[in-house]
């Protein structure tokens, strides 16, 4: 192999390594750096058990067998199967969730900050959609039937509404061991402590009384933990 060819290969490899370098993706909302190692220390994700001590139960979860309780204001319930329920998912970058919907039940607008989602309808008829980022804020939506699949890109606001007169069930596959969820209404109007009504009045261009009314409501969390 000629010297020029070898040098070209080395430079190409170096350029590729620089171009593809990045920080590791976060596996929780944040991870505050510490200088004092005597402080409590967390890793990005979870600590790993000695592989020799792993058991079948580390990779098992029976929680998706039964339907979730949809007797709430939203008429839906999300049952996750992520690293909190299945320790063996740690570092594997995937998780699942079962979503149950009462007739006309809603899984309200929310985002997953750390994962793209693929939703598969097992039973029922769902109206689903997501909204693209600024400035277009374009709604991309579709009615799904049993066996249909729909993708919600990472970080975009999305929702599902049961438009049928019977219960519906879907399975969500997510590209993170801990995808996280931020329900828009809960975060904006139900934060603790509350966001200043002055901020929300200007942001939503509504009367301050409307904001204060919304902040006084009990915002349903349709997730089991």
117 annotated ligand-binding residue? yes
Decide: helix, strand or coil at residue 144: strand
Q: Are the C-beta atoms of 27 and 45 separated by less than 8 Å?
A: yes
Degrees (nearest 5) of the Cα angle 183, 218, 83? Answer: 40
Tell me which DSSP letter residue 223 carries. B
57 annotated ligand-binding residue? no
Query: Does the N-terminal peptide bond of residue 75 adopt cis geometry, omega within 30 degrees of 0?
Result: no
38 annotated ligand-binding residue? no
223 annotated ligand-binding residue? no
Query: Does the N-terminal peptide bond of residue 64 adopt cis geometry, omega within 30 degrees of 0?
Result: no
Query: Does the N-terminal peptide bond of residue 135 adopt cis geometry, omega within 30 degrees of 0?
Result: yes
107 annotated ligand-binding residue? yes
Query: Rounded to whole angstroms, how far apart are CA atoms 108 and 35?
Result: 41
Where is 16: in which H helix or E strand? helix 3-20
Lookup: tokens for 105: 């039940």
Q: Are the C-beta atoms of 120 and 77 separated by less than 8 Å?
A: no
Which residues make up each annotated binding site?
Answer: 107, 110, 112, 117, 158
Residues making up the binding site for Mn(2+): 110, 112, 117, 158
State the binding site for oxalate. Answer: 107, 112, 117
């Amino acid at each position: 192999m000629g010297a020029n060819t070898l040098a070209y290969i080395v430079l190409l490899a170096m350029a590729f390594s620089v171009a593809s370098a990045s920080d590791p993706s976060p596996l929780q909302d944040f991870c505050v750096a510490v200088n004092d190692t005597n402080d409590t220390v967390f890793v990005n994700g979870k600590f790993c058990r000695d592989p020799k001590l792993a058991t079948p139960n580390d990779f098992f979860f029976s929680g998706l067998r039964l339907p979730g309780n949809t007797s709430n204001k939203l008429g839906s319930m999300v049952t996750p199967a992520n690293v909190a329920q299945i320790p063996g998912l740690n570092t594997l970058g995937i998780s699942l969730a079962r979503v149950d919907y009462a007739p006309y039940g809603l899984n309200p607008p929310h985002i997953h900050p750390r994962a793209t989602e693929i939703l598969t309808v097992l039973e029922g008829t769902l109206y689903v959609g997501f909204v693209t980022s600024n400035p277009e804020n374009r709604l991309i939506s579709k009615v799904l039937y049993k066996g249909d699949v729909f993708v919600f890109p990472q970080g975009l606001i999305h929702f599902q509404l049961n438009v049928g007169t019977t219960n519906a069930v879907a399975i969500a596959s997510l590209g993170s061991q801990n995808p996280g969820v931020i329900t828009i209404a809960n975060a904006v109007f139900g934060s603790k402590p509350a966001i200043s009504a002055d901020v929300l009045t200007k942001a939503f261009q509504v009367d301050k009384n409307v904001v204060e009314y919304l902040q006084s409501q009990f915002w349903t969390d349709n997730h089991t933990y």
